[in-house]
């Protein structure tokens, strides 16, 4: 009984496209990883998400006709996966905190180089910023995250699906909201 | 949609959207000139712009806390290799899944020869895996030459594994550390459907057949010979050093005795017996459908335990210690390597979460019973007198599987 050739398992890209895929990966991996990390704050999780994004790109290449569209597609998928992962983790941590009264966080290499006290402060600060960010409506989180890693308005518009001319106002509103919530929270903490 | 429309205070003043766009250099040249001209003569807008700049700076400064810093971003080349490895694994898994789920074929096609000219292909895959898992075994200790090591499987120990734990970190590609060469003789594969007598003549051990088959399994049987194979792995220090540098593990030191050390694996001929209501006979043409059909699928594998030897100045333990010293070794592989017991020959058998596994005694030897109730598949594996036996079939009934396994004689 021989194995019949199974065309379903063939990659969706041909050998030439394999090279093109490697080129896209090489060009955008740092950006995708950075965005995933900003969303999740976990080195391993960011790596998993970045891998998943490119796996999807490989399996079902987007119909992107320009670099802007390609970059926008990668960032949209990364943000979706990243924010989903963060939401799930926050729910899990909420339950774990209730059970164990402690939060397990990944210590980044940067934080690991600090002394233990600085390390705790750095981790707490990052967790706090992420928590403030997660209070915003998801679209606003996305505007800020995409802008923070240097996407242009055209790319942000493409990733989110709005008119490029609207991005400025939407971003302004998101920044204002983030800042308002940040100050509310810090004031509440001090009180 | 109101949210999407930039709001203007009045006809001439700049709203925050325009100010932010100006800040980000996203306005056209004409718009920028107009905005600058307006700011120069409108103190309210200039004040707005100033406070927006301060506020924005605060926001993005806060966001930099989220990291990562440039040196925390994994090396792109390494990440690409990891993805390619993942794609390979995924493709292989899908191939296996396609083989398992094909309704017209056996659910245990994995155990069958896939092509007449390559009856031992799956075995080579197993052999490669075994080589990977066992090549890092320590010295058996019984041999006079302290640099010579010898190992063969004596017993399997089920170890629960999380497939995720194999994804993070470096895989286990021996090619990265040296040169792998596997030769297998196909002298027996010319016999398409050997008889029992031919099989017994080819094997270096006595063939055992079941006295009892689970209900619904046909009594016709077919033999598929598994060729002998011989593999070598020669450690190449330069190659290993280049790989370590490439994967960010430059700090790992390579024991000098590993340079040029050669490890071998010897696989003696084995057999797979397939059961069904009807099996192809030896006199039928090779182009006819192979294998057995009808009834519940059932297989028995009898394969001599592969023998691993260290033939140079380095022992298997040296190689294992070196593998364990790699900081980026995937946690799953690390766990398996650590679980190999050299003195007793106990080898960890990775069990994914969906498989139920329990330790059993078969023919007086410790074995492992694995069942997957969702697919109604089951298997028993054990080793006795140097032969690894596998009894597998389309049933997850533990009692039936064990009864058949114990009835081999």
What does the pLDDT look like over A90-133, one tens digit per residue? 777 666 666 654 444 444 445 445 566 776 777 788 889 988 99
Interface test with chain B among A169, A174, A182, by most B beta carbons within 10 Å = A169
What does the pLDDT look like over B67-87, one tens digit per residue? 787 778 888 888 888 887 777
Instruction: Report the pLDDT value the prediction gives residue B173, as an integer from 0 to 100.
Output: 65
The H-or-E segment that residue B17 falls in is helix B16-23
B186 within domain boundaries: yes
> Do the Cβ atoms of B380 and B390 come closer than 8 Å?
yes
CA of B84 vs chain A CAs: smallest distance (Å)? 9
Q: Among the listed ranges B11-15, B165-169, B274-278, which one has the minimum average pLDDT value?
A: B165-169
Predicted-complex ipTM score = 0.76
B223 within domain boundaries: yes
B69 within domain boundaries: no
Looking at the fold, whether B322 and B273 belong to one and the same domain comes out as: yes
pTM tops 0.80: no
Segments making up each domain of chain A, as ranges: 12-190
Interface test with chain B among A1, A121, A128, A178, by most B beta carbons within 10 Å = A1
Q: Which two tokens stand for residue A104?
A: 């397990």
Looking at the fold, whether B45 and B115 belong to one and the same domain comes out as: no
CB contact under 8 A, B72 and A126: no
> Do the Cβ atoms of A81 and A36 come closer than 8 Å?
yes
Instruction: Report the pLDDT value the prediction gives residue B317, as an integer from 0 to 100.
Output: 78
Q: Which of A6, A46, A170 sits opposite B95 (nearest CB)?
A: A6
Domain end call among B64, B95, B114 = B64
Looking at the fold, whether B248 and B218 belong to one and the same domain comes out as: yes
Q: How far apart are CA B225 and CA B117, in angstroms?
A: 12
What does the pLDDT look like over B190-223, one tens digit per residue? 566 778 888 887 887 888 999 888 888 888 888 8
Looking at the fold, whether B39 and B136 belong to one and the same domain comes out as: no
Q: Tell me how far apart the terminal alpha carbons of chain B are, to the nearest angstrom.
A: 79
Looking at the fold, whether B131 and B59 belong to one and the same domain comes out as: no
- Which residues of B are less than 8 Å from A1 in CB distance? 105-106, 109, 112-114, 289-291
CA of A127 vs chain B CAs: smallest distance (Å)? 8
Looking at the fold, whether B344 and B261 belong to one and the same domain comes out as: yes
What does the pLDDT look like over B92-144, one tens digit per residue? 555 545 444 433 333 222 222 233 333 333 334 444 444 444 433 332 222 22
Q: How far apart are CA A128 and CA B205, in angstroms?
A: 67
Q: How far apart are CA B327 and CA A26, in angstroms?
A: 24
CA of B152 vs chain A CAs: smallest distance (Å)? 32
Looking at the fold, whether B33 and B109 belong to one and the same domain comes out as: no
Q: How far apart are CA B66 and CA A37, in angstroms?
A: 8
State the total domains in chain B: 2
Looking at the fold, whether B83 and B174 belong to one and the same domain comes out as: yes
> Do the Cβ atoms of B203 and B271 come closer than 8 Å?
yes
Looking at the fold, whether B115 and B191 belong to one and the same domain comes out as: yes
Looking at the fold, whether B223 and B354 belong to one and the same domain comes out as: yes
Instruction: Report the pLDDT value the prediction gives residue A61, as an integer from 0 to 100.
Output: 82
Cβ-in-10-Å burial (0-12, 13-18, 19+) of B24 comes to middle
Give the gyration radius of chain A's Cα atoms: 20
Share of residues in chain B with pLDDT > 90 (%): 6
> Do the Cβ atoms of B235 and B319 come closer than 8 Å?
yes
CB contact under 8 A, A51 and B83: yes
Q: Scan residues 90-119 of A and list those with Cβ closer than 8 Å to B.
A: 108-110
Q: Pairing state of beta strands B365-372 and B377-384?
A: antiparallel
Q: How far apart are CA B199 and CA B270, in angstroms?
A: 9
What is the mean predicted confidence (pLDDT) over B5-10? 43
**Domain, as residue range, for B275:** 74-406
* pLDDT tier for residue A20 given thresholds of 50, 70 and 90: confident
Q: Does A165 touch chain B (CB under 8 A)?
A: yes
Instruction: Report the pLDDT value the prediction gives residue B186, as an integer from 0 to 100.
Output: 56
Domain end call among B19, B46, B64 = B64
Looking at the fold, whether B80 and B59 belong to one and the same domain comes out as: no
Higher pLDDT, B85 or B235: B235
Instruction: Report the pLDDT value the prediction gives residue A98, as an integer from 0 to 100.
Output: 60
SS3 B366: strand
B174 within domain boundaries: yes
Q: How far apart are CA B336 and CA B156, in angstroms?
A: 12
Q: Pairing state of beta strands B155-160 and B346-351?
A: parallel
Q: Does A148 touch chain B (CB under 8 A)?
A: yes
Closest CA to A32 of A60, A68, A72, A4: A72
Q: Does A6 touch chain B (CB under 8 A)?
A: yes
């Amino acid at each position: 009984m021989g194995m019949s050739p199974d065309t379903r398992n063939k990659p969706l890209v041909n050998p030439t496209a394999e090279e093109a895929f490697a080129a896209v990966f090489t060009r955008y991996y740092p950006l995708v990883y950075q965005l995933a990390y900003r969303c999740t704050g976990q080195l391993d999780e960011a790596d998993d998400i970045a891998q998943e994004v490119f796996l999807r790109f490989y399996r079902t290449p987007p119909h992107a006709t320009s670099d802007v569209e390609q970059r926008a597609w990668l960032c949209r998928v990364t943000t979706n996966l990243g924010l989903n992962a963060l939401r799930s983790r926050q729910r899990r941590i909420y339950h774990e905190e209730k059970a164990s009264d402690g939060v397990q966080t990944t210590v980044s290499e940067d934080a690991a180089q600090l002394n233990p006290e600085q390390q705790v402060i750095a981790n707490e600060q990052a967790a706090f910023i992420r928590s403030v960010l997660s209070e915003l409506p998801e679209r606003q989180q996305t505007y800020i995250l995409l802008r923070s890693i240097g996407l242009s308005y055209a790319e942000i518009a493409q990733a989110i699906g709005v008119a490029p001319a609207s991005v400025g106002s939407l971003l302004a509103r998101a920044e204002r909201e983030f800042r308002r919530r940040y100050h509310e929270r810090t004031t509440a903490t001090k009180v | 949609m109101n949210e999407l429309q930039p709001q203007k205070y009045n006809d001439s003043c700049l709203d925050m959207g325009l100010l932010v766009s100006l800040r980000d250099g996203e306005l056209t040249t004409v718009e920028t000139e107009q905005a600058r001209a307006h700011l120069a003569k409108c103190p309210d807008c200039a004040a707005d712009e100033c406070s927006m700049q301060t506020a924005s700076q605060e926001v993005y400064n806060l966001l930099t806390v989220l990291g990562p810093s440039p040196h925390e971003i994994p090396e792109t080349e390494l990440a690409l290799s990891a993805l390619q490895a993942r794609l390979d694994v995924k493709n292989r898994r899908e191939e296996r899944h396609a083989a398992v789920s094909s309704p017209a074929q056996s659910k245990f096609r994995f155990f069958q020869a896939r092509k007449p000219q390559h009856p031992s292909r799956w075995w080579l895959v197993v052999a490669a895996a075994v080589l990977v898992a066992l090549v890092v075994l320590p010295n058996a200790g019984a041999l006079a030459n302290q640099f010579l090591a010898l190992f063969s499987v004596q017993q399997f120990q089920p170890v629960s594994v999380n497939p995720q734990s194999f994804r993070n970190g470096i895989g286990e590609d021996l090619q990265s550390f040296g040169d792998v060469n596997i030769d297998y003789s196909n002298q027996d594969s010319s016999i398409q459907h050997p008889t029992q007598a031919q099989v017994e003549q080819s094997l270096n051990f006595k063939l055992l057949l079941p006295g009892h088959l689970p209900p619904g399994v046909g009594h016709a049987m077919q033999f598929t010979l598994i060729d002998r194979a011989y593999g070598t792995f020669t450690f190449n220090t330069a190659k290993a050093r280049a790989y370590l540098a490439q994967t960010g593990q430059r700090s790992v030191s390579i024991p000098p005795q590993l340079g040029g050390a050669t490890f071998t694996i010897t696989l003696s001929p084995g057999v797979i017996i397939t059961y069904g209501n009807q099996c192809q006979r030896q006199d039928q043409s090779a182009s006819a459908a192979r294998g057995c059909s009808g009834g519940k699928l059932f297989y028995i594998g009898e394969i001599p335990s592969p023998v691993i030897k260290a033939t140079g100045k380095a022992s298997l333990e040296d190689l294992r210690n070196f593998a364990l010293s790699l900081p980026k070794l995937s946690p799953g592989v690390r766990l398996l390597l650590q679980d190999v017991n050299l003195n007793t020959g106990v080898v960890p058998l990775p069990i994914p979460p969906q498989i139920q596994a329990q330790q059993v005694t078969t023919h007086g030897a410790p074995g492992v019973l694995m069942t997957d109730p969702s697919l109604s598949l089951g298997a028993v594996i054990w080793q006795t007198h140097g032969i690894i036996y596998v009894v597998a079939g389309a049933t997850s009934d533990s009692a039936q599987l064990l009864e058949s396994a114990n009835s081999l004689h």
